Amino acid sequence: MTRRLRLPEDYDLARTLGGLAVIRHDRTLAAGGAEAWWATRTPDGPGRLHLRRDEAELVASAYGPGAAWLLDRADAVAGLRDDPAGFAAVAGRHAVVRQLARTFRGLRLPATRRVFQHLIPAVLGQKVTGKEAYRAYQAVLRRFGEPAPGPGPNLLVPPEPAVIAGTPYWVFHPFGVEQRRADTLRGAAARAGALEAAADAGEAVRRLTALPGIGPWTADEVVRLLHGDPYVVRGGVFLLSKHEAYALAGEPRGDDARMLELLEPFRGHRGRVCVLIVAAGVRAPRYGPRMPIRSFARF
């Protein structure tokens, strides 16, 4: 099953699809050059989406029981429903943002409508180092995921929510996940159906933040990918706010409140600014010892 989509000028497929990775080296995703692959669990079952650039068009192919569902939303997943109109004027208010907007002008915001898939890495990344989040996420995918249907790279379809909901919290300990995050993930999995049924971004945030252990930052991170909302900020991820403070004000340290203050001039596109800073790899300088890696394997 295939579909051809018209592309805007300077469209960047690899960086656009790469934005789906809440945690680096996500095994549900492979994006580089003129091709991208994404595996997901649709309402119709597992599926794999392949996007290939063909000059001014994007060729979308899908495989598995969820192929029809994926093809119908291929343009949204590819970020082609994202409208950056007006961002150039907003970006001109800051020299760094103006330069990032020019450098990454082909980057678009994807919208997947897959809540639980993005909630897994978002919860596992709560208040831990990037290495801890990466190890936990990979372990959960290996244990509870399944091979994606169709040809292409060796990708994994995310776990079935019912499987996660029915798994005791202590099973997650060998993955480096303590009871608090395990219970948050299990609770969200038990309510995955209601989360998927949210009609818009506002309702999705309300339903997510009503769950124990899901705060506004985790909800915003998921909704940003769910709806491709350019307003939603990537906050709450361990030490992420300091990178925004460093990029926008040259400050080596900054908390979430300072990040929001610096992003206020870009209201309406402040989430897009965060995505550009992450895409550019801007990092604040490191000071002091690194946070130790904890182990819950014997708990």
Q: Is the dihedral of CA 111, 114, 120, 123 positive or negative?
A: positive
* Rounded Cα gap, residues 271 and 226, in angstroms: 13
Mean pLDDT computed over 184-197: 94
Main-chain dihedrals φ then ψ at residue 182, nearest 5 degrees: -60, -45
SS3 of residue 63 by DSSP: strand
> What is the C-alpha separation between 57 and 118, in angstroms, rounded?
28
Are the C-beta atoms of 152 and 50 separated by less than 8 Å? yes
**Residue 85, pLDDT score:** 86
List helix spans (H) across 30-94: 67-72, 74-77, 87-91
Closest by CA to 72, choosing from 13, 81, 195, 201, is 81
Report phi then psi at 76, rounded to 5: -70, -45
Tell the CATH topology of 82-299.
Endonuclease III; domain 1 (1.10.340)
Least confident range from 62-66, 134-138, 188-192, 265-269: namely 265-269
User: Among 22-36, 103-117, 247-261, whose mean pLDDT is lowest?
Assistant: 247-261
The answer to whether the CB of 29 falls within 8 A of the CB of 37 is: yes
Residue type (1 letter), 87: F
Q: Report the pLDDT value the prediction gives residue 237, as an integer from 0 to 100.
A: 44
Query: CA–CA distance from 209 to each of 56, 127, 223 (Å)?
Result: 41, 17, 11
pLDDT value of residue 212: 94
Backbone dihedral region for residue 72 (phi beyond 0: left; psi -120 to 50: alpha; all else: beta): alpha
Q: Report d(CA 104, CA 11) in Å as an integer.
A: 9
Amino acid at 268: G
Q: Nearest Cα to 97, choosing from 252, 284, 274, 240?
A: 274
* Cα distance between residue 119 and residue 46, in whole Å: 17
What digits encode the pLDDT tens for the residues 207-230? 999 999 998 888 888 988 988 888
Nearest Cα neighbor of 180 from 291, 24, 296, 26 is 296
Q: Where are the domains of the chain?
A: 2-81, 82-299
CATH class of 2-81: alpha beta
* Amino acid symbol at 189: A
For residue range 22-48, what is the model confidence (pLDDT) as tens digits?
888 899 999 988 999 999 999 999 999
Name the nearest CA neighbour of 247 among 292, 225, 288, 280.
280
Report the candidate in 10, 40, 7, 282 with the shortest Cα–Cα distance to residue 149: 40
Query: Using one digit for the tens of pLDDT, what is the confidence trace for 163-184?
Result: 999 999 999 999 999 999 999 9
Instruction: List the beta strands (DSSP E) in the chain.
Output: 2-6, 29-32, 35-42, 45-54, 57-63, 146-147, 156-157
How many residues are present in the chain?
299
Band the pLDDT of 290: cuts 50, 70, 90: low
Cite the DSSP H helix spans in 153-255: 161-165, 179-190, 192-196, 201-209, 216-227, 240-249
Does residue 60 surpass a pLDDT of 50?
A: yes
Q: What is the pLDDT of residue 238?
A: 41
